Chain A
Amino acid sequence: MTPAALRARVAITALLVVSAGCRPERVTTPGADMAAASTLRATLVSAASAAAPAEAAAATGTGWGSLKGRFVFAGTPGTARPLVADKDTEVCSKAGMKLLDRSLLVDASSKGLANVVVFARKTARVKEAQPSTTPVVFDQKQCEFLAPVFAARVGQPIDVKNSDPIGHNTNIAGSDFNQLIPAGGSTIYVPKAETGMPTMVTCNVHPWMKAYMVFRKDGYVAVSAADGSFTIADLPAGEPLEFQVWHERSTGPSGAIGLDKPDLRWTPKGRFQLTLQPDEIKDLGTLEVPASAIGT
């Protein structure tokens, strides 16, 4: 090595040391408020401060009403991307069939946006006190979950089926369920807790397989159909209700769909409010989701 090359190497090393620094620069954040923390600690350790448990939201209204509407997509959805399905091709891409990305399904003629989730955030009354004990079927076939977005009530049994001649596993994120589903087999899963926003469901054997599940205690949840329409029946009337709206590809926080609808007090967190009259079937009409609300 020539002296020049040697010096160059020394220079590079020294520069690297300087530029690398001691550790990568990290985003800073305000520290804890010491005084507030010690006051709060006193509150937390004193048993005396334990307030009486808050009463459940008082049931004020009577009767039941329904909510319906239809989501349409204001942009152009583009062509669906093919998924990389490179395992078990004799089943997963039978007769050259290509599996397509289903995260944005827009009906060609009506512009209806499918698989938008709408659910009531808190309800004081529920018409059907107990969830049904009849299992709802969640099936998979040709390496695809049949329902891209699946809603169920907490406590209602779900029959997780596998209609393929090969084995799958069904892994519900954030739950206690990730089980083998043998070829042609099935197993029952009973959701025990609400999901909040929908949670992802995958098959780890075939990583392209993806769906979402949403569980609600009161069962007041709907998934928009292929034409974008949804209905939630038997909602408690005569009391303020708040709804949450979600779509897989939304650019909003946690997948929330925020619409410009001041009459419904629709927020960027994807929530709107209304009160139903007894026996009313409230139709929100056409709800237009702008192209900018959906990620690529």
Chain B
Amino acid sequence: MTFIIMHRRTSHTLAGLAICLTALTGCGKTPPAYFRPNMVEATKQRLTPDQEQQVSTILLAMFGTPDEPVCLPETGLDEAKLRLAAGPVRSDIVGRKNGLYREHCAHCHGVTGDALGPTAAFLNPYPRDYRPGVFKFKSTERADKPTHADLVRVLHKGIPGTSMPSFALLPAAQVEALAEYVKYLSIRGETELALMRAYFELDDDAQGKLPETREFLIDETLAVVADKWKAAADAEIQVPPMPADIDLVASIAKGKELFYGGKANCVKCHGVTGLGDGQANDYDDWNKAIVEIGKELSSGATAAREASTSGMSPEELAEHRGQLAWLEKFGKVLDGDALEPRTIPPRNLRHGIYRGGRRPIDLYYRIHAGINGAPMPAAKGTVPPEDIWHIVNYVRSLPYELDGELGADKPMLAKDRF
């Protein structure tokens, strides 16, 4: 802090100058809302400016703008609902409101749904980035999309233990519109990712340009994404009823055995205490993507720095310079378009706070299918349904165990439990 030792007059002048500058430059006029391209993916795929522009143009044709969204019939989306949610916050008829997404969601999830809204960096956990099309709390199998009802439930209940509030006070039509708009942003984002990745798969005779045909853009790209959303409606996990022939205390005891045993292995991450203090230095998929890019960059940067340019042919030299420029650009893109990666702690099961909902069936879904995007694996296939129910019962009992009774080696007596 060199300022501290500055002469009094200097500091005085500097302060004045700084205030003048702030006043002069200001923050500028509010620019019109626009969808920010996925710069991390564009740079990762080494797209040229022409290619970046082609993606933006295709997306504009397919999805419109944040103020005027449009959707092709193949998306299965309801444009009227999107119009209620999109655009600036405004009301032209008493009691009817538009611009719901920007009123309620955009400050965290971003206008683009990229989780880069102005408040995002200050939240822990970070808000969800819709663009990869991955959602955690749902009633479908791991890789399936959530059902419409799943999204509505998250909006209604919020996500306990995070910054996501409940929107239960909004009229049902508004919640519907917001759920539809989340799907719209997600389909748009996933289509963008598919387009950006498609450049690498192009044959050389395509000359780095995606074919602008219905067949490629709709049948092979947009419909592939949209059909997964349509399929979700019929993809709910079939949950057998909780075993009725066993009493709760016995079920909890069985669940405890499974929790600590080598089959379900919950203990490895959620810890012997259940406090979520087991394996805790892993990342979720969104953060891991940034971590992996960071590793690739530092590995590439070291290789590029160590490369000797003396023996290079002109072509090799041009390639080397291209690599250095790409590394530099990627560093800047990460600064502006990605948040500092954070590890994902396994859930502390003694709080009784369940992000995906506290109903027994919610816990069943989490254990059966795992949590998409998070390290939590699926138990289906290796753990039978009745055992999953026993684990559910044990997990639900954990917040009520007495403090002195933590740990695998201290069996709990039923009479001490409540």
Using a CB–CB cutoff of 8 Å, the interface residues on chain A facing chain B are 3-5, 7-8, 10-12, 14-15, 17-18, 21-27, 29-34, 36-38, 40-41, 43-45, 49-51, 53-54, 87, 165-167, 169-171, 173, 175-176, 178-185, 187, 196, 200, 204-207, 242, 249, 251, 253-254, 267-269, 271, 292, 294-296
The answer to whether B39 and A29 have CB atoms under 8 Å apart is yes
| Assembled-state Cα–Cα distance A15/B1 (Å) | 12
Beyond A41-B61, A45-B72, A169-B375, 4 additional pairs, beta carbon < 8 A: A11-B3, A26-B337, A204-B282, A292-B303
Number of interface residues of B (CB under 8 A): 89
User: B370 an interface residue at 8 Å Cβ cutoff?
Assistant: yes
The answer to whether B262 and A166 have CB atoms under 8 Å apart is yes
Residue interface mask B40-63, A partner, CB < 8 A = 1: 001101100110110011111110
> What A residues does B93 contact at CB under 8 A?
none
Residue interface mask B4-41, A partner, CB < 8 A = 1: 10101001101100110110010110000010010100
Known contacts A40-B61, A54-B215; decide if A29 and B299 are in contact (CB<8 Å).
no
Which stretch, B76-84, B146-154, B264-272, B351-359, touches the partner chain A? Answer: B264-272
Q: Shortest distance in angstroms between B284's beta carbon and chain A's nearest beta carbon?
A: 10
The answer to whether B27 and A26 have CB atoms under 8 Å apart is no
The 7 closest A-B pairs by CB, nearest first: A176-B143, A167-B265, A204-B375, A14-B18, A26-B336, A295-B299, A183-B262
User: B124 an interface residue at 8 Å Cβ cutoff?
Assistant: no
> What B residues does A36 contact at CB under 8 A?
57, 61
| Assembled-state Cα–Cα distance A70/B234 (Å) | 49
| Assembled-state Cα–Cα distance A171/B370 (Å) | 11
The answer to whether B218 and A17 have CB atoms under 8 Å apart is no
Known contacts A8-B11, A51-B213, A180-B265; decide if A253 and B377 are in contact (CB<8 Å).
no
Q: Shortest distance in angstroms between B67's beta carbon and chain A's nearest beta carbon?
A: 14
A-B pairs with CB below 8 Å: how many?
A: 213
Interface residues of B in 154-211 (CB under 8 A from A): 197, 200-201, 203-204
> What B residues does A25 contact at CB under 8 A?
332, 336
Q: Shortest distance in angstroms between B112's beta carbon and chain A's nearest beta carbon?
A: 12
Instruction: Select from chain A the residue with minimum beta-carbon distance to B26.
Output: A22
> What B residues does A54 contact at CB under 8 A?
215
Q: Chain B CB within 10 Å — which of A24, A43, A44 has the most?
A: A44
> What A residues does B375 contact at CB under 8 A?
169, 171, 178, 204
> What B residues does A29 contact at CB under 8 A?
37, 39, 42, 49, 52-53, 56
| Assembled-state Cα–Cα distance A236/B218 (Å) | 31
Instruction: Give 15 CB contacts A-B under 8 Å.
Output: A10-B15, A11-B3, A11-B14, A14-B14, A22-B27, A38-B61, A40-B58, A87-B268, A167-B262, A176-B143, A184-B262, A254-B200, A267-B204, A292-B303, A294-B303
User: B245 an interface residue at 8 Å Cβ cutoff?
Assistant: no
> What A residues does B302 contact at CB under 8 A?
295-296
The answer to whether A175 and B201 have CB atoms under 8 Å apart is no
> What B residues does A249 contact at CB under 8 A?
299
User: B307 an interface residue at 8 Å Cβ cutoff?
Assistant: yes
> What A residues does B15 contact at CB under 8 A?
7, 10-11, 14
User: B241 an interface residue at 8 Å Cβ cutoff?
Assistant: no
The answer to whether B377 and A204 have CB atoms under 8 Å apart is yes
Q: Shortest distance in angstroms between B25's beta carbon and chain A's nearest beta carbon?
A: 8
> What A residues does B22 contact at CB under 8 A?
14, 17-18
| Assembled-state Cα–Cα distance A116/B213 (Å) | 35
Q: Shortest distance in angstroms between A255's beta carbon and chain B's nearest beta carbon?
A: 9
The answer to whether A30 and B53 have CB atoms under 8 Å apart is yes
User: B97 an interface residue at 8 Å Cβ cutoff?
Assistant: no
> What B residues does A3 contact at CB under 8 A?
8
| Assembled-state Cα–Cα distance A181/B382 (Å) | 7
User: Could you say which of A30, A87, A173, A269 contacts B200, with CB atoms under 8 Å apart?
Assistant: A269
User: B335 an interface residue at 8 Å Cβ cutoff?
Assistant: yes
Instruction: Select from chain A the residue with minimum beta-carbon distance to B13.
Output: A11
The answer to whether B307 and A182 have CB atoms under 8 Å apart is no
The answer to whether B268 and A251 have CB atoms under 8 Å apart is no
Residue interface mask B272-287, A partner, CB < 8 A = 1: 0000000101100100
The answer to whether B18 and A15 have CB atoms under 8 Å apart is yes
Q: Shortest distance in angstroms between A242's beta carbon and chain B's nearest beta carbon?
A: 8
User: B347 an interface residue at 8 Å Cβ cutoff?
Assistant: no
Residue interface mask B350-381, A partner, CB < 8 A = 1: 00000000000000000000100001111111
